[in-house]
A and B are shown apart, each in its own frame.
Chain A
């Protein structure tokens, strides 16, 4: 079991500071959603947690250990990342890509044996991607590739998972399928899961807690009910009066109303034409 923690971390690129003085935790068995407007730094948090960029100040801890002091190999056994729309080598097959998830578990001289194959194959079964196994990456759609990336992180068998917009390319059926799968794994295997999500309604439905980022700091943190309030959404996104209560489970939900603001009504346009 692994605990993800940021303690007073300031993050950025070169001299540009993106996020200041962040402190939060993701506990084992908990699924936390990272939400906020475009460019607020959701991906930066994921890159810092996976040691791609070092923090300017403060500490990033995985199970109490400073991530900058853990070797890459060790880190990759603890923490898996599903990147947002990455470039994948087009000549490799889907199965070869999923099998790469086993890399951190293999020594320098080792090749993937039957054990690695079985783990990768089961990960593809769980994500419904087995039928793609022999296809080349160049032949796959964005949604299919997203499924493969989830399969790869499952094959990696880590204690914590970070996801950067895991549902961005999926239709609603696949969104429910993939987030449901991640949530179940999080509960069954006590994984710490942090997901950057664009879709506020998905975040509410699947996450135990939400962290709302705005203007370089944490604007609100807590249960979906505490974070998705009309005031917070208006302050952060500038969208007024769009938080309602879900009719069947009582959670907050965000419904947009184009008629409220600055949008021309369809019949106005028709009249002009």
Chain B
């Protein structure tokens, strides 16, 4: 009998190559997205400008100062924010799907999106004098709305010391419907502010600035690190809660930690750019189809794939009908759905 453990059964090689390949691809996509725009900047120049800003690198500028301004002040913050939001939504989606053992779960399942929308709409309806607070009242209220609605769903769903997953989903769907109807009512009674509200709800990166990326970054970073640390327990959770407990997992604590982390990064992601659908549900499934269901790889691969996907989607959103902008949510669905259906047909095996 063979006594050598079959390390290749875990497909670590293909998964590690996947991570390395996606890192290279991410760098290429960042360069591509910063080079393309109303002013075309050659790829080599773009690369040099980007590399010159890395620590410990000294390059003599051979480019016009305006190019540097376009890349650094206009395009790069937008690309970075799109990457952060894509990464956040993808890993949050993968986490919710794993936690709920439900392939239909997405980052908005338990009230985050509807809470954020309500917060944002309230922000739009407040008198103009309120809008000078910090980054503006709208992201702040959207963030608070997302966290509060999830906290309400969480406390409604608790039974004694446990949190049954089905109850959580039902509470999330019910509260989400309630909040959505309030949002709809506020929209139709919003008068001339309706345009701004619809623009936010359809989401866009068009107003991205460095300050926003800098605010979103720590939340996403913290959430991603916490979730990645829980990858192995999350694998064991796929058995079922009883078996997970018998294998030493503190299931209730794990649920609380993962819900908090996934909710935090989703709230941070949507509060500045609005609600972007599709990324959070499709990216984790696509990753699962290619590299398998092991969360130790599924989660980091989702982060990279989500970032790449949303940077590309935003590139299309701002260039396809330039100077007009297409809402990013439209692009994510138009590009993502056919690609996902292709994957689904090509690999007809059980993915979840």
Q: Which residues of A contact B58 (CB under 8 A)?
A: none
Verify A91–B293 contact, CB threshold 8 A: yes
Chain B proximity of A75: nearest CB distance (Å) = 7
In the bound complex, how far is the Cα of B7 from the Cα of A133, in angstroms? 11
Q: Which residues of A contact B238 (CB under 8 A)?
A: 89, 92
Q: Which residues of A contact B324 (CB under 8 A)?
A: none
Q: Which residues of A contact B233 (CB under 8 A)?
A: 103
Known: A87-B240, A89-B293. A103 touches B5 (CB 8 A): no
Chain B proximity of A245: nearest CB distance (Å) = 39
Verify A76–B248 contact, CB threshold 8 A: yes
Cross-chain contact of B292 among A51, A52, A91, A156 (Cβ < 8 A): A91
Cross-chain contact of B229 among A51, A97, A108 (Cβ < 8 A): A108
In the bound complex, how far is the Cα of B10 from the Cα of A138, in angstroms? 17
Cross-chain contact of B248 among A75, A92, A130 (Cβ < 8 A): A75
Q: How many interface residues does chain A have, given as a range?
A: 35 or more
| Interface hits, A79-114 → B, CB 8 Å | 79-81, 83, 86-93, 95-97, 99-101, 103-104, 106, 108-111, 114
Verify A91–B351 contact, CB threshold 8 A: yes
Q: Nearest chain-A residue to B293 (Cβ)?
A: A91
Verify A91–B350 contact, CB threshold 8 A: yes
B64: interface (CB < 8 Å): no
Chain A proximity of B288: nearest CB distance (Å) = 7
B198: interface (CB < 8 Å): no
Q: Which residues of A contact B14 (CB under 8 A)?
A: none
A146: interface (CB < 8 Å): no
Verify A103–B246 contact, CB threshold 8 A: no
Q: Which residues of A contact B293 (CB under 8 A)?
A: 89, 91-92
Q: Nearest chain-A residue to B253 (Cβ)?
A: A72
Chain B proximity of A128: nearest CB distance (Å) = 10
Verify A114–B245 contact, CB threshold 8 A: no
Known: A93-B9, A117-B7. A83 touches B246 (CB 8 A): yes
Chain A proximity of B302: nearest CB distance (Å) = 15
In the bound complex, how far is the Cα of B232 from the Cα of A7, in angstroms? 36
| Interface hits, A49-70 → B, CB 8 Å | 50-52
In the bound complex, how far is the Cα of B9 from the Cα of A95, in angstroms? 7
Known: A72-B249, A125-B1. A109 touches B229 (CB 8 A): yes
Q: Which residues of B contact A73 (CB under 8 A)?
A: 248, 250
Q: Nearest chain-A residue to B6 (Cβ)?
A: A133
Q: Which residues of B contact A217 (CB under 8 A)?
A: none
B242: interface (CB < 8 Å): yes
B348: interface (CB < 8 Å): no
Verify A95–B248 contact, CB threshold 8 A: no
Known: A76-B248, A77-B248, A130-B1. A83 touches B351 (CB 8 A): no
Q: Nearest chain-A residue to B230 (Cβ)?
A: A108
B63: interface (CB < 8 Å): no
Verify A120–B1 contact, CB threshold 8 A: no
User: Interface code A148-163, partner B: CB below 8 Å = 1, 0 otherwise?
Assistant: 0000000010000000
In the bound complex, how far is the Cα of B245 from the Cα of A75, in angstroms? 9
User: Interface code B1-29, partner A: CB below 8 Å = 1, 0 otherwise?
Assistant: 11111110110000000000000000000
A199: interface (CB < 8 Å): no
In the bound complex, how far is the Cα of B244 from the Cα of A81, in angstroms? 11
Verify A156–B247 contact, CB threshold 8 A: yes
Q: Nearest chain-B residue to A95 (Cβ)?
A: B9
In the bound complex, how far is the Cα of B3 from the Cα of A71, in angstroms? 34
Q: Which residues of B contact A76 (CB under 8 A)?
A: 246-248
Verify B239–A89 contact, CB threshold 8 A: yes
In the bound complex, how far is the Cα of B288 from the Cα of A180, in angstroms? 39
In the bound complex, how far is the Cα of B240 from the Cα of A268, in angstroms? 50
B236: interface (CB < 8 Å): yes
Verify A121–B5 contact, CB threshold 8 A: yes
Cross-chain contact of B246 among A52, A89, A138 (Cβ < 8 A): A52
Verify B229–A95 contact, CB threshold 8 A: no
Verify B247–A104 contact, CB threshold 8 A: yes
Q: Which residues of B contact A77 (CB under 8 A)?
A: 248
Q: Enumerate 14 A-B pairs (CB-CB under 8 Å) in ascending A order.
A: A47-B242, A72-B245, A79-B246, A83-B246, A87-B239, A89-B101, A93-B9, A103-B233, A104-B247, A120-B5, A121-B4, A121-B6, A134-B6, A156-B247
